[in-house]
Chains A and B, each alone.
Chain A
Amino acid sequence: MPATTAEVVDVLREAAAAGHVVVPSGRGTKLTWGRPVEPDVLLDLSPMDRVIDHQPGDLIVHVEAGATLAAVQEAVGRAGQRLALDETVPGGTIGGILATNASGPIRMQAGTARDLLIGVTVVRADGVVAKAGGRVVKNVAGYDLGKLMVGSFGTLAVVTEAVFRLHPLPEVQRWVTVEPDHLARAAHAVIHSQAVPWAVEVDGSTLSVLLGGRAAGVAARVAVVQALIGGTVSDVAPAWWGRYPWQPGEIGLKITCALSGLSAVLAAAGPRVRGSAGVGVLYAVADRADDVARLREVAARHDGTVVVVDAPADVKASVDVWGPVPALDLMRRVKREFDPDRRLSPGRFVGGI
């Protein structure tokens, strides 16, 4: 349990000398995601939980990877700001969100961790500390290593610190919720409207649209959405908002598609589907492992993919968790450069990386 970047270096150097497999972890809330991996060393970063610096005037925050998203929100919230990420799994850390690129409803307005990360400090498998990006939002000096780290499932390097851009907290938020006759059609009506929806989410047969911003503007945008799809207005989110639809022990899928494929993918995904229809990112519960291949066919027809996010070990052993991945050879070459001895979370990621 390292408390500093320097201690992470020590752990990784020792692991390298001993040939140990290291799996970085935060609070362990998403540790079962990806393909299973047996660590010799579980690198628990949760003691590295400081908010190092918050500059409200510059709308940036610099945090350690073990800080929970909730703690970061509390710190920046005092200045009327937020890190525009949803807590899709309660208690998760910044490092965990970066490793999985976990995202919730607000991505339609603000993007994902990939889009908000502006600087990163990592420790490589060989113990070398490196940083990329910086503390300013606009910066094209050098390669954007942060992008490679986001969603890499701890297989390239250990992220110890991150700098993010922040957003102002909205003055008001309103949810327009409806059970439309045709879910995808209603979603499209809102997506292509002038309402500037911050999120267009589905849950089963329910559609809920988030509008945030200044009171006067939001009121007008709510009216635009209601004119299109009807529904009731609330100032609190539906109970299911921003949570995955599966329970522990179930087969949880992430399904993506081009927006024109929404109708087909929603139909194929079954009743327990939820997620960001507004950007073509859905989550669903599969009854059987066989469903995965069938859904992959449907999603692929609409430029999308299906990933088995979480599932019991026997299911993960019987299905292709990640599905077909183009440019796999290049990905393997990146892995080989960063972690030639395959000591960081080996086998957890795509193509056995």
Chain B
Amino acid sequence: MSQRSGIEEVARRARQVLPAGGVIDDPARLRTYECDGLAHYRVVPALVVIPEDADQLAAVVRACAEHRVPFVARGSGTGLSGGALPHAEGVLVVTSRMRAIRAVRRDDQRAVVEPGVINLDVTRAATPYGYYYAPDPSSQQICSIGGNVAENSGGAHCLKYGFTTHHVMAADFVTADGDRVRLGGAAPDSPGYDLLGAVVGSEGTLGIVTEVTVRLVRLPEEVRTLLVGFGSTDQAGAAVSAIIAAGVVPAAIEMMDELAIAAAEEAVHCGYPEGAGAVLVIELDGPAVEVEAEYVGVERLCRDNGAFEQRVATDPAERALIWKGRKSAFAAVGRISPDYIVQDGVIPRTSLPQVLAAIAELSATSGVRVANVFHAGDGNLHPLVLFDEARPGEAEAAEEVSGAILDLCISHGGSITGEHGVGVDKARFMPRMYDEADLDTMQLVRCAFDPQSIANPGKVFPTPRLCGEVPGKRKGVHPLQDEGRAEIF
């Protein structure tokens, strides 16, 4: 059966179960789905479906499985690694019509939501009960919980509160066969393998969640945000190390270097300390007395490490002002450069000075400007590599510097992605971080969940593993075959 007839079969089935408007095959409308947040990868999907519930979604996936048609799940399409990049011969399954918050169970500290629900809306629904949803990727006003589950999203506050994987307790899940199963439970420690732990962060390559039960966290009694100016990133880095060494776990510690600060000033006039070579945004939260005690310590440690200006915000308006510069940083870079790459790498926190020096050297020798914005507390770097597409060779040079930064992360024992995911963008870097056996072993999980390899194929892994080997089958040539005494048909 040809691929084309397969997609036609899936479209026919989708029209039977989805309402009109839920199935899109008009070329012009298909084009609006051609990319996610990483816009330089573009593929027009063969079909877009927008199911309203799990039954409809499962029916479409089942049809895909029957006809071996690839499918890609998409939430709000804000991902930065091309994880929701469509497949040209496949179906894009969009969850934006599955936006019900089913329950906020304050006594259980749980919320039950559909995958298309916007991250911040979970917090909005929980706030009246004194609770919130902790993972806060910077796109939280538009990104979806389903996308967060796929990417194991972090955010500025994951230093203290952890990532999506620490906050997802259970999920209704549609397998790559189109079967519906329950993973995890509202109570902790469901017996059996932690399949949910494998699914979170699997970037849509194992199946699609259709309902998610998340943990809610008590809103802190007190939040205090500091904006601290330093002469250099070295001083700011030393302050971060001193804070961590003192046993303080702030809710967030963010760093911006001179170029990133300049961009933010240009864009949003955030009024950061003048002449700063680096700023730290440090947020402390918790019981009021505890926050006060930590604040005194942090303030002193910053001063000891060369801070020349410290401002503190105690109310939401002041806090928003401090965060404005940091949160606008990615977009702000657009003011000082026509094009830029947002990189996402991780290093052990103590390697920060060496890695920043090496990035500066890379920048100097290549002539490519790099602005640094990062989650300093957990060593998650977001270097912004600047270039001008219109000038010949600049894009390539920027791409090269961006890749070299990832190599730096790997050589310091870090990771090629801390929160944006591998997607289509970094699959080729996976073999630099993991050897063949590592990648082969990860793909055993893929083979268990999706032996036909139809769930978001081509993402995460540079080379797909062939599944469906007969259990117990030997690798390589059988000894009898080798001796010419047997043949395998």
Contacts and interface: CB of A to CB of B under 8 A. Distances in A.
Note whether A and B form a binding pair. Answer: yes
19 contacts: A59-B244, A111-B166, A132-B438, A135-B414, A136-B418, A138-B154, A138-B378, A138-B415, A140-B163, A140-B415, A141-B416, A141-B434, A143-B446, A145-B441, A147-B165, A217-B290, A219-B289, A256-B187, A327-B182
A337 B108 contact: no
Nearest to B475: A126
A330 B197 CA distance: 13
Given A129-B437, A148-B193, A168-B249, 10 more contacts: A136-B415, A142-B433, A144-B152, A216-B293, A217-B289, A256-B187, A256-B190, A331-B192, A333-B448, A336-B448
Contacts of A256: 185, 187-190
Q: Which 9 A-B pairs have the closest CB atoms?
A: A147-B197, A217-B290, A168-B247, A340-B471, A130-B441, A220-B289, A303-B186, A256-B187, A139-B415
Interface stretch (B333-341, B343-351, B356-364): B343-351
B286 interface: yes
B348 A60 contact: yes
B193 A156 contact: yes
Contact of B245 (A57, A138, A224, A322): A57
A258 interface: yes
Contacts of A192: 106-107, 130, 218
B294 A132 contact: no
Interface in A138-179: 138-145, 147-148, 150-152, 156-157, 167-169, 171
A143 B446 CA distance: 9
Contacts of A131: 434, 438
A101 interface: yes
Contact of B418 (A138, A171, A220): A138
Contact of B289 (A147, A216, A305, A330): A216
A58 B241 CA distance: 9
Given A101-B189, A135-B413, A142-B439, A340 B472 contact: yes
B197 A148 contact: yes
B342 to A, nearest CB: 15
B250 to A, nearest CB: 12
Contact of B201 (A59, A140, A221): A140
Given A151-B193, A254-B189, A330 B175 contact: yes
B448 A55 contact: no
B287 interface: yes
A105 interface: no
Nearest to A338: B444
Interface of B: 105-110, 130, 151-152, 154, 158, 162-163, 165-166, 173, 175, 179, 181-183, 185-195, 197-198, 200-202, 218, 220-221, 241, 244-245, 247, 249, 286-290, 292-294, 346-350, 375, 378-380, 413-422, 426, 430, 433-434, 437-442, 444-449, 460, 471-472, 475
B259 to A, nearest CB: 23
Interface residues of A, number: 94
A82 B438 CA distance: 29
Contact of B471 (A111, A224, A341): A341
A101 to B, nearest CB: 7
A37 interface: no
A327 B417 contact: no
A114 B194 contact: yes
Nearest to B473: A340
A132 B293 CA distance: 38
Contacts of A260: 105, 107-108
B127 to A, nearest CB: 14
A294 interface: no
Contacts of A336: 448, 471
A313 interface: no
B201 A217 contact: no
A115 interface: yes
Contacts of B379: 58, 136-138
Given A147-B194, A334-B448, A138 B185 contact: no
A157 B201 CA distance: 21
A327 B195 contact: yes
A3 interface: no
Contacts of A347: none
Contact of A57 (B247, B292, B350, B447): B350
A242 interface: no
Interface string A236-253: 000000000000000000
A36 interface: no
Given A259-B107, A330-B449, A130 B189 contact: no
A330 B195 contact: yes
Contact of B287 (A57, A101, A115, A194): A194
Given A115-B162, A139-B417, A327 B197 contact: no
Contacts of A331: 192-193, 195
Given A148-B198, A151-B189, A192-B218, A143 B445 contact: yes
A258 B421 contact: no
B421 A169 contact: no
Contacts of B193: 148, 151-152, 156, 331, 334-335, 350
A327 B175 CA distance: 10
Q: Which of A139, A168, A194, A303 counts the most B-chain CB atoms under 10 A from its CB?
A: A139
A142 B203 CA distance: 9
A353 to B, nearest CB: 8
A122 interface: yes
A144 B195 CA distance: 10
Nearest to B185: A303
A315 B430 CA distance: 48
B408 to A, nearest CB: 13
B37 to A, nearest CB: 15
A150 B173 CA distance: 21
Given A129-B437, A147-B194, A307-B191, A216 B290 contact: yes
Contacts of B194: 114, 147-148, 150-151
